[in-house]
Amino acid sequence: MKVLKFGAVWCPGCLVMRPLWQEIEKEWPELLTEYYDVDENKELVKAYAIKEFPCFIFLSKDNTELHREYGEVSKDKLIKFIEQYQAQ
């Protein structure tokens, strides 16, 4: 499983989520995450039909979308999703 993180330098919610993800990535070193700046990755944003930021997409090993979250999400909630989907 991996998580795609979509954000922008101008988006206040993305700034709030940045340190939170840093903590999670430290606690879960095996977790795969990829960050995409929405202004530099417009095609990808379009492909995933993302309308709001920040957006976090949980993908399975074969890149099937398992779940997505918009806006500010609590650390507990994110960990719950990671635990739920980590085997996929």
Residues found near another protein in the complex (CB under 8 A) = 8-18, 38-39, 42, 45, 50-55, 70-73
Cβ count within 10 A of residue 62 = 6
CB of 49 to another protein, least distance (A): 12
CB nearer another protein, residue 72 or residue 83: 72
Q: Which residue has the tokens 């944003």?
A: 45
Among 67, 70, 72, smallest CA distance to 83 is for 67
Which is nearer to another protein, 34 or 52 (by Cβ)? 52
Q: Which is it for strands 55-59 and 32-37: parallel, antiparallel or unpaired?
A: unpaired
Nearer to another protein, 42 or 61 (CB): 42
